[in-house]
Chain A
């Protein structure tokens, strides 16, 4: 059985008066069970589309009863450059801005055909991103 784990470690010495140290590991499993996710898709791409225009990076397969996780990283090294992450197709819902060097990991239900993952670059010059989709069949 395939095993995929993801560990987050959040640390800070000065965000609060007391140091912050949080670590949590999850094992990515199929919906409602202990069996591991068994498919992976890796994308590394350079986006050079129009600033502010959404580009589809993952298309929903409308499989809301299944589990999947999405990792996205902005590989730019220019502090001011970001991807504005959206979910949806016709009525996109903004999630947030992923600035240079930032990463995100979220579950993705693909709740309907209108649940694509989209990235809108902040600039029209080339910006690289990395996406990994873990899912179940």
Chain B
């Protein structure tokens, strides 16, 4: 009875092929107690090239073992979301660009909001989820 996150990476970029698999059991900070809460998998449709909050810090505990999953549900090679963290009233730090079909999974310290900016004004869809304890 647990929540697990598994990654399987495969690549032939290097001289030797790379194949990596790792599974982590998602627990509360510093122990073996399973995480027990989630935002659930959510979806947003965005239609403006505007920086907006995707996940705000409200309701989440800081400096624990929260995890965030974000996926660009689109299929366009050229359309992307800029994912950033920080106060949108200031200058958030850009993490990276999530192109069509891309996903990301990372720990979230709840130091600041997670923000998103679509690259185009035509409808773009993002799926996201917070898993926390």
Inter-chain contact B103/A26, CB cutoff 8 Å: yes
Please report the C-alpha to C-alpha distance between residue A10 and residue B105 in the assembled complex, in whole angstroms: 10
**B93 cross-chain contacts in A, Cβ below 8 A:** 87-88, 91, 93, 115
Interface size on B, residues (CB 8 A): 67
In whole angstroms, how far apart are the Cα atoms of A30 and B96 in the complex? 13
Q: Which residue of A lies closest to B11 (CB)?
A: A4
Q: A3-B12, A67-B99 are in contact. List 4 more A-B contacts (CB 8 A).
A: A29-B99, A85-B107, A95-B109, A104-B106
Q: Give the contacting residue for B97; candidates A5, A31, A82, A99; CB below 8 A.
A: A31
The secondary structure that dominates the A interface is strand
Q: Which residues of B are interface residues toward A (Cβ below 8 A)?
A: 1-14, 18, 20, 22, 24-25, 27, 29-32, 34-38, 40-41, 63-66, 68-69, 71, 77-78, 80, 82-83, 85-86, 92-99, 101-112, 129, 131
Which B residues touch A106, using CB under 8 A? 83, 95-96, 104-106
Is A61 interfacial (CB 8 A cutoff)? no
Q: Chain A CB within 10 Å — which of B14, B95, B111 has the most? A: B95
Residues of B within 8 A of A102 (CB): 24, 65, 107
Inter-chain contact A97/B5, CB cutoff 8 Å: no
CA distance in complex: A35, B115 (Å):
28
